[in-house]
Structure formats: C-alpha cells, structure tokens
Amino acid sequence: MAPELATVALDQDAVLAQAGDQIEHVFFPYSGAISLMFEMANGETVASAAVGREGAVGILSLLGPSPSAVTATAVVRATGTAARIPASRFHAAFTRSPAIRNAVQIHLRALLMQFQIGTACNALHPVEARLARWLLHFRDHIDHDMLPITQEALSQMLGVRRTTVTLLMRNLRASGGIRADRRGLIEIDRSRLAAMACECHSTLRLELEEIFLK
C-alpha cells in the first residue's frame, strides 16, 4: 500500500468519517486518538469505541460502496498524524494480501470487544466511573498523563450535559484522580484515576492485549 499512502494531520475535533456517508478514505493513525460516535434522532450522542495507532478508521469500506457503510462518526479527540489511503485502493490491497486480511480481522475483533464492553458499561455503571474509564482509555492511546481533550468533547462521548461533566471533573479533582483541568487539557493521576474507574477499563485492556498479542 506504500505508494498510495499520504501522511495527513489529525486536527482536533476533525471529522474523518460521518455517519450515513460513503467511506472515501481509510486512516491509519501514527499518533493521536479518535472516538467513534453514535448519534440518536434527538441529537444525543455517545462514544462506542476509540481508535489509535493500533487500528484504523474506515475499515468498513470493505463492505462495499453503500451509504450505510459508516455507522458511526469518527472524530479526532487528540491531535496526531495518520497515513491515508483511498478506500478503493485499500480494498484492492485487502483482496490481494493475506497479511492485510489478517490484520483487519484482528482490528475488527478489537472493535467488537470495545462495542460489547462499552454497551454493558453504559447500561450498568455510574457516569463518574465511565468518565474515569474514558480518560484512562485515551491515556492508553497517547501514552501521556496530559490529555488534550475538552469537557465539551467528554460530554458528547458520555451522553450527558456539559454541566454534569464539570461537576464530575470537580469530584475527580477533589479525589486526586485529576491533578489539573485547564482549558482543553486534563492532567490525570493514572493510579488514582484507575481506582475510581469501573472494572471495564482493566477488562478491556486485558482483552485487547490478548487479541493483539495472539
């Protein structure tokens, strides 16, 4: 695929794929983090998964040129860079290469695991524990305790109001899970935040390690 790849910037809050649209490109992040967002008819949103340098955005282009191929909106949450290839070129490479087909299967298993655990977490766990889980999940993707993410983005991902996130952040800061919360930057204490998150973070991390290291 190398001759077809172009390096592009992943800008904060950029939309890489819009739900309901045809997939035109596949992105392979080198750095940064992207959330996959589902939107309800009333405009409420919730994040279902995150993608970083371990995966790709636009893999569902393999289903063919259907407008319904994009079922979630992919939004950049932490800036970075990525390799981009036209979906048609990626599909041709997928058809030719057993190695690429194997990598895609691994990535899809990882996404499915995120969807499954995320669905259970959203239904059963309190929002403060879910917030801690997402902060840790992004920390896993960017390998830094300073997370470049806004409270507005977190409210969209959790499916709650901005004022709710402000209150939750205050609680996490008082408990030591967050060291600082400046405009667009959240500094976390990883060990303390892990104690406040639900078990879904550690469960998901172990499951993903097993999938990728097999």
Domain made up of 126-213: CATH architecture: Orthogonal Bundle (1.10)
The residue ranges of every structural domain in the chain are 2-122, 126-213
Is there a contact between 122 and 49 (Cβ–Cβ < 8 Å)?
Answer: no
172, pLDDT greater than 50: yes
Partnered with residue 8 across adjacent β-strands are 82
* Cα end-to-end distance, the chain, whole Å: 24
> How far is the C-alpha of 127 from the C-alpha of 107, rounded, in Å?
27
Give pLDDT, residue 65.
54
Domain boundaries 2-122, CATH class:
mainly beta
Neighbours of 94 (CB within 10 A): 18
Q: What's the sign of the alpha-carbon dihedral 203, 204, 209, 214?
A: positive
CA nearest neighbour of 61 among 95, 15, 10, 14: 95
pLDDT at 183 (0 to 100): 79
Q: What is the pLDDT of residue 70?
A: 57
Distance CA 126, CA 106 (A): 30
* pLDDT for position 42: 87
Amino acid code (one letter) for 127: V
Average predicted confidence (pLDDT) for the chain: 91
Q: Extract the tokens encoding 205.
A: 């991390």
Q: What is the pLDDT of residues 136-161, one digit of tens each?
A: 999 999 989 999 999 999 999 999 99
Q: What are phi and psi of 161, to 5 degrees?
A: -75, 155
Residue 74 has pLDDT above 80, yes or no: yes
Identify which has the larger pLDDT, 109 or 20: 109
**Res. 19: pLDDT tops 90:** no
Looking at residue 68, what is its pLDDT? 44
Q: Which pLDDT band holds residue 41 (cuts at 50, 70, 90)?
A: confident
Confidence of residue 67 (pLDDT cuts 50, 70, 90): very low
CB-based burial, 32-69: b 16+ in 10 Å, e otherwise: bbbbbbbeeeeeebbbbbbbbbbbbbbbbbbeeeeeeb
Task: Quickly state the pLDDT bin for 212 (edges 50, 70, 90).
Answer: confident
